[in-house]
Amino acid sequence: MSRHQALNKLGRSGNPIIRSAAFQDKVSSSEEKMSLEGAVNKTSIMLFLTVTAATISWNFQGPLMAIISTLGALAGFISGIMTFGFYFFFVGWIVKPRPHNAPRTAPIYAIGMGFIIGIISQHAESFYPGIVIQAVSLTFFVATSLLLAYKTGLIKPTQNFMLMIFAATMGIFLTYIASLIYSLFSGSHFLVITGNGNMSILFSVVVVCIAALNLVLDFDIIEQSAEQGAPKYMEWFGAMALMATLIWLYIEILRLLMKLRSR
Amino acid sequence: MSYLTLFLGLIGLLSAFLFFYLLKFKASSKQTNRGNRIRWNSYIPYRDKKPNKGKKKESEDSSFRDN
């Protein structure tokens, strides 16, 4: 009898320590998989960090806070690129997505963005009292409506849907970049972005719709990753993607409400 | 604070609770059992696990030779 045959016939080991359930458990726990519950918990943690940072920057305005917020926004921006990567038309991936960085970058992103949101919100509230509550409420209302539509299968994200949303998002991003460059040279902004005319409001409504539809893609990432048993760090990645879209949606709704109130 | 703000605040609070409550549930089979889903794993690269070099496969172990 060869040794292979002997092993197959007699079994691997009779040692109770090696064969114990405790040992098996230890092996399986080292390969933890993502779960929906975990992604929700991480989203809650990120939301808590963002709200806390926003509250601090709202209440302690001043030159020091301006510096902290700028550094926070910069850290958040770098964290976002380190996790989601950076893609540009015709060039491709300039920085590739690295989802395994998410457990480290997500809290930095949440705090950094919280500081800048606090300053923006405080600025908006000083001009239009009550606008922040309205914007936050509308953000959650839109997000919940889309989540309900996604979970029930009313909205079905497909490949074409994703490409359409991705192209529209990139278009908005490029428009903002063009506006920023234009303002640096001319000293004035694109009126279609900053004005309060009909076209400007229509532009804001379109941007809000695109930001909201991005949420559907985030829900799908979380749902599918959990279904396929993705690694545990994908919980942080999904939460970070969701938070990034929620923050964008909030800022766009705030901007839309400011335009409407200024008329 | 205007009534509109209070009303929207209440809706927002309820929405936020509902959002985190619904997020925990699996999507309906109408959503999950369809052929035209986006294949996210082809866009988002999961980090490959390093192979465990210390753990040899049975057939690769030189001490076991079939004669």
Question: Which residue of A37, A47, A160, A223 to mutate against B (max B Cβ within 10 Å)?
Answer: A223
Share of chain B above pLDDT 70, in %: 67
Q: Are A3 and B65 in contact (CB < 8 Å)? A: yes
**Cα(A208)–Cα(A139) distance, integer angstroms:** 10
Q: Report CB contact under 8 Å: B25, A231.
A: no
Question: Domain extents for chain A?
Answer: 33-261
Distances (CA, A) of A231 to A30, A38, A108, A238, B41: 11, 11, 21, 11, 12
**Gap between the Cα atoms of A34 and A234, Å rounded:** 6
List of chain A residues whose C-beta atoms are within 8 Å of the C-beta of residue B27: 150-151, 153, 219, 223
Burial A65-87 (b: 16+ CB within 10 A, else e): beebbeebbebbeebbebbbbee
The stretch B10-28 carries a mean pLDDT of 94
Cβ of residue A159 closer than 8 Å to a chain B Cβ? yes
Determine the distance in angstroms separating the CA of A219 from the nearest CA of chain B, rounded to an integer.
8
pLDDT tens sequence for chain A (263 residues): 455 454 444 444 444 444 444 333 443 445 688 999 999 999 999 999 999 999 999 999 888 988 999 999 999 999 999 999 887 777 778 888 889 999 999 999 999 999 999 999 999 999 999 999 999 999 999 999 999 999 999 999 999 999 999 999 999 999 998 988 988 888 777 777 888 889 999 999 999 999 999 999 999 999 999 998 899 999 999 999 999 999 999 999 999 999 999 98
Q: Of B54 and A154, which is predicted with more confidence?
A: A154
Pull the structure tokens for residue A65. 């806070």
ipTM of this complex: 0.81
pLDDT at B63: 54
Q: For residue B25, what are the CA distances in angstroms to A152, A241, A242, A262?
A: 11, 18, 16, 41
Report the alpha-carbon distance of residue B1 to residue B7 in Å, rounded. Answer: 10
Higher pLDDT pick, A104 / B44: A104
pLDDT exceeds cutoff 70 at B5: yes
User: Model's pTM, two decimal places?
Assistant: 0.83
**A150 inside 8 A of chain B by CB:** yes
Contact yes or no for B38 and A3 at CB 8 A: no
- For residue A133, the chain B residues in CB contact (below 8 A) are 5, 8-9, 12
E strands within chain A?
Answer: 86-88, 92-95
| Contact B50/A at CB under 8 A | no
A178 to A40, A171, A175, A202, A203: CA distances (angstroms): 36, 10, 5, 19, 15
Tokens, residue B36: 């035209």
**Position with higher pLDDT, A137 vs B4:** A137
Q: Considering only CB atoms, which chain B residues are within 8 Å of A98?
A: 47
Contact A97 B27 (CB under 8 A): no
Name the strand (E) or helix (H) holding A12.
Answer: none
- Which residues are CB-contacts of A143 (< 8 A; sequence separation ≥ 6)? A212, A215, A246, A249, B15, B19
pLDDT of residue A103: 95
pLDDT score of A191: 75
CA A239 to chain centre: 6
The amino acid that residue A237 corresponds to is F
Contact of A30 with chain B, judged by CB distance below 8 Å, is answered with no
Find, among B19, B48, B31, B53, the residue nearest to A245 by Cα.
Answer: B19
Q: Please, are residues B9 and A137 in contact by the beta-carbon 8 Å criterion? A: yes
- Would you state the pLDDT for residue A188? 79
